[in-house]
Amino acid sequence: MTRNALREPAFLVAVGLLSAGAVGLFFAIEAAHIYLTKKPIYPRSGLKLNALPTETAGWIRVGTDHVESVEIVDELGTTNYLTRTYMEKNPSDQRAPRTVQLHIAYYTGMIDTVPHVPDRCFVGAGLRPGGLDERVPITLDDSTWLERRDVRDDWKGSVFTMRPSSEYGITGGARVTLPRNPDKITMRAMNFIDDRTGQTLYAGYFFIANGGTVARAEGVRLLAFDLSDDYAYYMKVQFTSQSVTSVEDFGQLASSLFNDLIGDIMFCIPDWVEVDLGLWPANKPQHAASAGEDDPGPNR
């Protein structure tokens, strides 16, 4: 293109229209409270996941927490994680108490993909899929739940608070806000076979993201990257065990441990009702994700 062409009225008009359109789009996006980038957000408590109690009413830690190498942490994509094995304190068979490994990882800000889920990592480590792939409910005790009423209309009836254990927990018994629809949390459960030992490993996971839950990695973006939110986080909650022989037993085991820890876990992530109300973070009011249907999208 010549310099003379750059001075042509038609070219200048086109540039002007494109510039005006870009400016108009910017202001339209801003006026509609659409956020194309996501900022990191952290819990008001400042606690990380390794602060979770090593003992609960029904479970106690076995050994020490697993610390990943620098290379694995780099691959994991976060330093805020916990990998810990718990053993049941009151087993039905005293000679063979069951164990379950809990792995939790927290991510915040702009994350493109959901890394390190069992169906990718375990196969990569040489385990063979055992054919199980189904959604299993996480059953929680709702006896201490109270409905939280200072929420927007589309969340009414789906947000509850609970009082965690003051004997073992890190909250001191203070009430915490649960994920939306806590009675509908499900995990994606699978089994894997180690052909070298013949053992079967059960694994299951779900995600908590911007105050909701989802059982599949593909659904995380629908929660954590809603255009009406300018902050985003998600947390993977994963259970693995070789102490069970059926998916029903595995679901019961995971539910029991998560039921004991959920209050303390929620203390280690942002309270999304506070975010929606503009109470957290302190520097700017925010808007939480809109409500919707559960998976194959998220549990909003």
pLDDT tens-digit readout, 198-234 = 999 999 999 999 999 999 888 888 887 776 788 999 9
Q: How far is CA 68 from CA 73, 74, 298, in A?
A: 6, 9, 30
Q: Give the tens place of pLDDT for each residue, 169-197.
A: 998 878 999 999 999 999 999 999 999 99
- d(C-alpha 96, C-alpha 94), whole Å: 6
Q: Are residues 52 and 6 in the same domain?
A: no
Q: Are residues 16 and 102 in the same domain?
A: no
Query: Does a structural domain hold residue 23?
Result: yes
Q: Are residues 267 and 199 in the same domain?
A: yes
**Where in the sequence is the domain holding 138, given as residue range(s)?**
36-277
Q: Are residues 108 and 210 in the same domain?
A: yes
| Mean pLDDT taken over the chain | 84
Q: Are residues 15 and 64 in the same domain?
A: no
In the structure, what pLDDT confidence band is assigned to residue 112 with cuts at 50, 70 and 90?
Answer: low
Query: Does a structural domain hold residue 295?
Result: no
Locate 198 and state its tokens: 């013949």
The pLDDT of residue 224 is 78
Q: Are residues 12 and 127 in the same domain?
A: no
Query: Does a structural domain hold residue 300?
Result: no
Residues 111, 112, 116, 119: is their CA dihedral positive or negative? positive
Query: Does a structural domain hold residue 291?
Result: no
Which of 12, 14, 265 lies closest to 140, judged by CA?
A: 265
Q: Are residues 78 and 7 in the same domain?
A: no
Which of 212, 205, 241, 224 lies closest to 105, judged by CA?
A: 205
Q: Are residues 105 and 224 in the same domain?
A: yes
Listed in sequence order, the residues at least 6 apart from 96 whose beta carbon sits closer than 8 Å to its beta carbon are 243
Q: Are residues 97 and 174 in the same domain?
A: yes
In the structure, what pLDDT confidence band is assigned to residue 299 with cuts at 50, 70 and 90?
Answer: low
Q: Are residues 42 and 19 in the same domain?
A: no
Model pTM score? 0.82
Count of structural domains, the chain: 2
